[in-house]
Amino acid sequence: MATHGRITEIAHLVADARSIVALTGAGMSTAAGIPDFRGPQGLYVTRQYNPEKTFELRWFKRNPKHFYCFAADFVETLSRIRPTFAHTFLARLEAAGELSAVITQNIDMLHQVAGNHNVIELHGSPSTATCLSCGKSIGPLDVTWWQQAIAASPHSPVVLCQGCGGVLKPDIVFYGEQVHRYAEAEAAIKECDLLLVLGTSLTVYPAALLPDATGAPVVAISQGEVALAPAKHHYVVDADLDAFCREMEELLSF
């Protein structure tokens, strides 16, 4: 946990800021109970699902069953988990008029569940889907919709377009696709007067480049190393996100 002096200094930065942007990563989700795909129990280590066949666009187009077998478990997890204290802390910052945007690499929609409204999802989310055959876009969709749609085809858990019968692809970013709304995220960071980097090591590109877009103070909170270049206005704290946000809220009056 941060020393008292350091957390007080950061609390002053938050209190004085008028346009905060938060950039969030997998650490926000793991605290809620979603395994980090690259972590010790993640998809890429356990090989419970073949990561290439699950998340590569060419494999999805060839055989979407690989992804949908994973999706059945993923949406079941999403139906059980709840936002963490860190999620609700960001929602309260937005409600207080201090947080202008959340930029997230996560696809779990927990920021919206917690109460944030201006959420830029770099890797998309299952809140919308597109038919690969007719191009129709559907949404907004929630976890319950996906559970029911997947359960409706238990012997072939692939969700199909009700219009043409083509395969529905949730609008998450697969390998082989560009991230979503990057220019919008970069613009938000250029305009902020404080950037909070929460739960990300800044090793996944292009999101890792976003802190370079601002000369404002950058506060990175994560457990483990963060690839943030040393600078006078950069603060890196190795801490549990929920514990840090609880201490922060105690020092702030909102």
User: What is the pLDDT at residue 47?
Assistant: 46
Q: Is the pLDDT of residue 51 over 90?
A: no
Q: What value does the mean pLDDT of the chain take? A: 91
- Peptide bond before residue 206 is cis, with ω within 30 degrees of 0: yes
Whether residue 50 contacts residue 221, with contact meaning beta carbons closer than 8 Å, is answered with no
Contacts of 228 (CB under 8 A, 6+ apart): 197, 202, 211, 218, 220, 234, 236
Domain extents for the chain?
1-34+84-123+179-254, 35-80+126-172
The class (CATH top level) of 35-80+126-172 is alpha beta
Q: 154 falls in which pLDDT band (50, 70, 90)? A: confident
User: What is the pLDDT at residue 44?
Assistant: 47
- The beta-strand segments (E) located in the chain are 20-24, 99-104, 119-121, 124-131, 137-138, 168-172, 194-198, 218-222, 234-238
| 3-class state of residue 67 by DSSP | helix
Q: Can you tell me the mean pLDDT for 213-235?
A: 94
Of 24-38, 51-65, 157-171, which range is least confident?
A: 24-38
User: Residue 168 has which token pair?
Assistant: 């529905």
Tell me the CA distances in angstroms from 72 to 148, 160, 177, one per residue in order. Answer: 10, 14, 22
User: What is the pLDDT at residue 37?
Assistant: 60
User: What is the pLDDT at residue 224?
Assistant: 87
% the chain with pLDDT above 90: 80
Q: Is the pLDDT of residue 244 over 90?
A: yes
User: What is the pLDDT at residue 48?
Assistant: 63
82-134 pLDDT, tens digit each = 999 999 999 999 999 999 999 999 999 999 999 999 999 999 999 999 999 99
Q: Can you tell me the mean pLDDT for 235-249?
A: 94
Instruction: List active site positions.
Output: 123
CA–CA separation, 193 and 222 (whole Å):
21
Of the candidates 237, 122, 117, 135, the one whose C-alpha atom is nearest the C-alpha of residue 180 is 122
User: What is the pLDDT at residue 5?
Assistant: 66
Q: Is the pLDDT of residue 22 over 80?
A: yes
Q: In a 10 Å sphere around its CB, with 0-12 CB exposed, 13-18 middle and 19+ buried, how is residue 163 labelled?
A: exposed
Return the DSSP state at 36: P
- Choosing among 3.40.50.1220, 3.20.20.190, 3.30.413.10, 3.90.380.10, the CATH entry for 1-34+84-123+179-254 is 3.40.50.1220
Q: Can you tell me the mean pLDDT for 182-206?
A: 96
